[in-house]
Chain A
Amino acid sequence: MSPAAALASGVFLAYSRLAVIVLGGAGFLLFVLSHGFGKQIDSIWRTFRGWLVILPIVLACIFAGRGATIVGVALLAMTAFKEFARATGLYRDWWMTGAVHCGIIALAVTSFVRDPWLDLPGWYGLFMALPVYVVSLLLIIPIARNQAKGQLQNTALAIAAFVYLGWMFGHVGFLANSPHAYGYLLFLVLAVAGTDVAAFTCGKLFGGRKLRDVISPNKTWGGSIGAFVVAMILPWLMRWSFPHFGPVQLLLTGVIVGVGGQLGDLTISMIKRDIGVKDMGALIPGHGGLLDRIDSLVFVAPLFFHMVRWYYDVY
């Protein structure tokens, strides 16, 4: 990945054009709805404006190359972890939060360096083994500080946050090492965003019974099934992103995005419900916190990554 490779890559250019078309089309549609039909869609406008900021940043990172993508993913993971820590109260424990941040930096470094044995970009073995070291480090902290009160909660929160928001999400950064990085990364971003929009739209159109009334009262089976259907269709539509995929892989990609995306969404909802907060933060107007935005990707990316690796190796 590099700016030159991005300009030479048909996949990158196609997704860039698609981003312009989709954003332009959505903007036009919202304009017609609000001005032509006088509908009150202020919140959707805010969400749309959020996308206008997010998408160019994502495309710029991927355009700039492998290093920028890995650094970008690490910064996202650190921001997401910070939101998690602020929501749970873990942010008061600087040793724990500091160790998790160090772990995320270590993930970025192992994603970036070359594998010393296989001589490939990204040290796969160490990347997969990192949770062992970081969990050990997190468990050492209360022992070194000779503290017990409340430490199970803090270590458990820190480990969960590192494994889920750091390591599992970090797979997005590691995907940048693949020769099919443009197709994989851009498809994932498009697919999780697309199923999100589909869930919202189908939920409004069809509704139906509540999906998980305790966790997230606004989600319906109608929205969920709509999102799943869209997720199953997208890999076939976007087949040119990964020309080496056969029907089985396309099917699996659809399932991972369609089911995993919603599970990621519900995971963060469950966490928010338990803590008792509405949003994880207020970083992106119209979207809530960053974690509210990337919740699906966190769940989908590692499953997709290991599906690809199962069949082809990532490289």
Chain B
Amino acid sequence: MDDWTYEPAPDLEQTVAERLRAFPRQPDMAVYALRGVFQTSLRAILRAYNGFDVRGAENLPMEESFVMVSNHSSHLDAICLLASLPLSRMHAAFPAAAADYFFASFPRTVFSAIAINGLPFDRTKGSGSLESCRELLAKPGRILILFPEGTRTLSGTPGRFRLGIARLVAGTKTPVVPCYLSGAYEAWPKGALLPRPRPLRLHIGQPRRFGDVTPGDRDAAVSICMQLRNDVLALSPERAPCYPASFPVQAPIEFHR
């Protein structure tokens, strides 16, 4: 007779905080249940309080793993992008969350890991975090939510896109879906204590792939970032695209910080 094979959880001897900070996290029924309650009620609140609605949800390539990139002006952004996805994908969608902020203390870690299913992203040296993202996207049906600006804008105008997103997708078949969330800056700007009842609308654009771009080429990476930023801005109902959407971009680039 063969011995039974036990497969203890790899994080068996870690504390709750360590387990929540780790990535990938082990499946946990209680966490899934809490997340289900949180995200379901959050969708209801967003719809009732902010009249949240989604345009272009049919553009999401739901049959494969993909990345959503969006402008970042508010804590509402990640929540709105999550709310634009089907509830059945709740546990497969991971917003990249700054490890130095969202996983800095135990209460924040609990919220980031359980409620929004955050992927702890190290902003100081991103290579390890990018590797986590790559491993995540290699699995089927995963969704990575990324804010390439790396921080919330203080002015409401989207800033420069950092190169991490380009490093992640250059030379891969992973589709990148540009999104533009309008109204979030007015509803809950950085520094405001509580969100206000301003309308929120998420515009989802056509996915883009960068399979023919050489990975590791810095100029190509810069181009990817500019192109994605243009795609995001082009979705904005308030302003016309800053640069032509064609590739490569020839116009001089003006960076916002």
Contacts and interface: CB of A to CB of B under 8 A. Distances in A.
Interface of A: 82, 86-89, 91-92, 94, 97-98, 101, 153, 274-283, 285
B14 A277 contact: no
Given A91-B27, A92-B27, A101-B29, A277 B15 contact: no
Contacts of A101: 29
B255 interface: no
A283 B6 CA distance: 21
Given A94-B29, A97-B29, A282 B15 contact: yes
Question: Chain B: interface secondary structure?
Answer: loop
Contacts of A279: 12-13
29 contacts: A82-B29, A86-B9, A87-B8, A87-B9, A87-B12, A88-B6, A88-B8, A89-B6, A89-B8, A91-B9, A91-B26, A91-B27, A91-B28, A92-B7, A94-B29, A97-B29, A98-B29, A153-B4, A275-B6, A276-B6, A276-B8, A277-B13, A278-B13, A279-B12, A281-B12, A282-B13, A282-B14, A282-B15, A282-B18
A171 B200 CA distance: 53
Interface of B: 4-9, 12-16, 18, 26-30
B9, B26, B28 — which one has the most chain A CB atoms within 10 A of its CB?
Answer: B9
A87 B12 CA distance: 7
Contacts, number: 51
Contacts of B29: 82, 91, 94, 97-98, 101
A285 B18 CA distance: 13
Contacts of B6: 87-89, 274-276
B16 A283 contact: yes
Given A86-B9, A87-B8, 14 more contacts: A86-B26, A89-B5, A89-B6, A91-B26, A91-B27, A92-B7, A92-B27, A97-B29, A279-B13, A282-B14, A282-B15, A282-B18, A283-B15, A285-B15
Contacts of A275: 6, 8
A89, A274, A278 — which one has the most chain B CB atoms within 10 A of its CB?
Answer: A89
Question: Chain A: interface secondary structure?
Answer: helix
B53 to A, nearest CB: 33
Contact of A277 (B12, B18, B28, B30): B12
Contacts of B16: 283
B7 A89 contact: yes
Given A98-B29, A101-B29, A89 B14 contact: no
Contacts of B5: 89
A101 B28 CA distance: 13
Given A94-B29, A98-B29, A277 B4 contact: no
Given A94-B29, A97-B29, A101-B29, A86 B12 contact: yes
B5, B7, B30 — which one has the most chain A CB atoms within 10 A of its CB?
Answer: B7
Contacts of A277: 8, 12-13
Contacts of A274: 6
B6 to A, nearest CB: 5
Contacts of A281: 12-13
A162 B7 CA distance: 19
A86 B14 contact: no
A246 to B, nearest CB: 45
B105 to A, nearest CB: 18
A82 B12 CA distance: 11
Contacts of B4: 153
A88, A91, A279, A285 — which one has the most chain B CB atoms within 10 A of its CB?
Answer: A91
A128 B196 CA distance: 55
A86 B6 CA distance: 10
Contact of A89 (B9, B15, B28): B9
A93 to B, nearest CB: 11
A169 B15 CA distance: 24
Nearest to A284: B15
Nearest to B7: A89
B256 to A, nearest CB: 45
Nearest to A97: B29
A98 B26 CA distance: 16
A292 to B, nearest CB: 11
A274 B8 CA distance: 11
A149 B29 CA distance: 23
A86 B8 contact: yes
A101, A280, A282 — which one has the most chain B CB atoms within 10 A of its CB?
Answer: A282
Nearest first, the 3 A-B pairs at minimum CB distance are A89-B7, A86-B9, A275-B6
B70 to A, nearest CB: 32
Contacts of A92: 7, 27
Nearest to A78: B30
B43 to A, nearest CB: 24
B200 to A, nearest CB: 34
A295 to B, nearest CB: 17
A285 B29 CA distance: 23
Nearest to A83: B12
Contacts of A280: 12
A91 B19 CA distance: 15
A195 B9 CA distance: 31
A293 to B, nearest CB: 15
Nearest to A87: B8
A284 to B, nearest CB: 10
